[in-house]
Structure 1
């Protein structure tokens, strides 16, 4: 697994910037690929202002676009205990035996064996405790869960989004396939099936990998020094087929989102080469990191003092990235999960 040398201590305040609340996007733009696209050219230190549907102008035959096909399987359930008290169950992801990993509130008042009623169609039984405050729960319903959950549950949007979606699928990528995430890999939300077909038609290869995004993705840096932050673990999979496409790339390897960056660099076994397989990654990419696989990056605009902003700064240079963020604020780009995109070449 690739690791960062972490030889230079950096103060977390170096990754701060002023983000007006009015620029935090509260709903996705339609169509998906009509979001704005800021293009950063590292070699010339210049910036273009485009639209996401113009992405094919910056990619070429032989490039490989790497996408995270994880699917958000989490649901926020608001229910009541038999005593009438309110309870919340945050379903994270399903297990093979039919149970789910979940977070519950109020945790101390919901011991093992507790039952939470959600509407008239669903009952949640709390069965066990796990590390990190997780609980094992089992769902009971007379109807298939895939029909009940969208009716009684809420899409678990990030805490800075205060407006519920009318269509839960809008918080999924169009290629979401593998259930397991608590949050969407939001850099991929800009793609449409038609845009992916345009890219394929011009000779861009598509490789799907999987990294299941945890709730910790929203945590800001927890320490005064960037390098002292403890990275959360996330599970990833690279199939032999995807690894073969990536390893045979003639052009650039383009990661869509920081989740793809962490997956590819975690699986790196040399320059532009990855090993197939599944593993947990705790890779923390800081500005002294030497990238082995990723050569271009598509990402959204991130919160101040977050590991994602640190990763992007490691890839493009902190000063250049913060200059671009200041320009994005001036030009009123839309920020965070439902916001606009950045392409770093």
Structure 2
């Protein structure tokens, strides 16, 4: 059943600061830093997502915080610094923001826009209350983060979109038509890889035959032992059926954030569009067909080019997720964490 759309209004004067929006799951790539390119919007128009983790300034260094206090905040391995900003910030597409004005002293960035490093940089145009942080510089997904204490939700009469069924998951291609790896895939794979490593218990993992082996096996071989009795990693979900695999990649619904339930194996959620690409699309973009075009086949000319570099899960997101897994305090997993975080880059993996 669909809920209601909401508008976020200034907690001070009540001015409406967004268009009507409906809630979706926070994407894995919400805090991805991706090369030196101008990125698109993080979210689709008309949607919002909530970040459960603290984000933004003030920051405190690890040596100042200490392991005990960090663990109380959900971080179980050393990081450079911890955010003491608010949890529960609300992400919206920049085009859905209304009635705000820039706080010029905090609008800092590099070559293309604002990176949000100085904190809240948008104020309510009605009363001047600091309400949000706009991020639109190169390498960052474009988004506006509404401060949870500065805005309030106003429920609208309009119904929110109906929750899509599992069979309607969109298929996110791993490669774009220019032959570049999709950063959404890299982010989702980095987060899922961390969870698979945790589920491995420190032993080898063999990926069952299929597209998932191409994207995960090299990195599992790099991170985990190759000898011994291996756990099997499979793909399970709507239209795929059950599996006897020990660890299973299951889709995470893009609207609700819920993971597909399984009866057997340890479930590792994977972004729904990426999971669908693995399960049904082989991860690749549409290719042209000759003769009469069958229903459902997309024409694409010229053919898409294959990537000229190998696929790499997002290493920073891998480290971020591992640091927030309580199991990282176990010696075998802490050793993996330290090895990856302290300078062993993915490029050292045998291709």
Calculate the TM-score normalised by the size of structure 2. Answer: 0.27
Larger RCO of the pair (alpha carbons < 8 Å, separation 6+): 1
TM-score, length-scaled by structure 1:
0.27
Structure showing greater Rg: 2
Bigger strand share: 1
